[in-house]
Structure 1
Amino acid sequence: MAEPTSTCQSTSTTPSLTPETDTPSSSTSNLSDDGIRLSPNGIYLTLSEMGRHEKYHWALLIAHSPTAGTVLQQLRPNDEAEWEYSIQPADVTTSRAMLVALKVGELPDVNAEWLAAVDECVRSSSIRDSEKFSCRAWVMGAIFALADGGFIDLEPCWVKVGMVEEEAKALVAGATSLDTSMVVSSKYL
């Protein structure tokens, strides 16, 4: 298998991205399965409810299996805190807040080398000059960086990235109005 190559640069150290498990842990087994299923090795843009009308949390998710993966995201504990990069395992079967998982790419493998390369790429991503930093702006910058680094089959152009963003916004509006979750492959890839 080919080793990942990345044109993205980073000076940060990379934490382990290997998931703790590919199945729900016993502590979550009493939660009901919401039916979300992902394509293993898929890279997803996710939108989740934040408890405020038309406000969503944007993140990236790398699927290790149909039900589990690794979430890469920017978090802010409160409105006054600094944004913090976070990597954590995710069990999508018990995620009540996830409304949309928009597939934006697929990795050849989700081994430690590929995950570290994606992590390095998105950590070093930047947002458009006209943007105020937010989880949405960071995800769109990360998608641009993944396209530029050859991880996803999207032209590394802000117009194309903007089209994916608008697609995600339309999907979350539909998911919200239908009171459901959606897993969809982007029409722009």
Structure 2
Amino acid sequence: MTFPQPLKLEPNTLYILLLDRGNTYLFHWELYLAQTATTGTIFHIINEGGPTAWEYKSEPTNEIPTLGRLILALQIGTVSPVLHAALADRLAIVPLTLYSARYRETLNCVVWVLEALFALDDEGYVSLRIGIREIEQEAKQIGMMNKSQCIRTLVRSRAFAK
């Protein structure tokens, strides 16, 4: 999937990214902190070593605005530049427990994002106006719609509090 225009990401903003995984309506979920309109850091987990071998990854990138696999960039909230490093440190210690008692699901990239959002909201890095499960449903619905229409969008979540 190719897109003619790069997404216009807002600096100092936290996003949930949904990336196309091919022919299914399942997406890889990541968090992305935009430091500028074109650069930022991706935070996510992967399991290249098997279904129980989850690994946390934090990677600086300048590819997100033009990334072809990107289906949705969902704005979650603003993060002051003085908190960028602390937010990255906090995300690095979100537990990789194989079962989330809070969300009653086996660990995967979606559950990790939900756990991360819970921690960030609970500790004041972001201030969410709706529940985390509502954010999950919002992202899934928009992601499926975008995939079916072969489009991608940047959307401000109903959770976003500026």
Same fold? TM cut 0.5 = yes
1:87-98 aligned at under 5 Å gives the runs: 87-90=58-61, 91-98=63-70
Contact 1:48 1:57 in 2 (8 A): yes
Q: Does 1:40 align with 2:18?
A: no
Residues 1:144 and 2:115 aligned together: no
Shift of 1:33: 5.9
Query: Percent identity over the alignment?
Result: 27
Q: How does 1:88-167 map to 2 (within 5 A)?
A: 88-90=59-61, 91-109=63-81, 114-126=83-95, 128-129=100-101, 130-154=104-128, 160-167=131-138
Please, what TM-score do these two structures have when normalized by structure 2?
A: 0.85
Q: What SS class does the counterpart of residue 33 from structure 2 fall into?
A: strand
1:169 to 140, 144, 147: 140
The C-alpha deviation readout for 1:131-188, integer Å capped at 9, x for no partner, is 1000000001001111001011116xxx810000000001101211221111111112
The structure 1 segments of at least 4 consecutive aligned residues displaced by more than 6 Å after TM superposition are none
Q: How many residues are paired up? A: 153
Q: TM-score, normalised by structure 1?
A: 0.74
Give ranges in structure 1 of 5+ residues lacking alignment: 1-30
TM-superposed CA distance for 1:67, in Å, is 2.1
Aligned match of 1:53 in 7, 24, 34? 24
Which structure has the greater CA radius of gyration? 1
Residue 32 of structure 1 deviates from its aligned partner by: 7.8
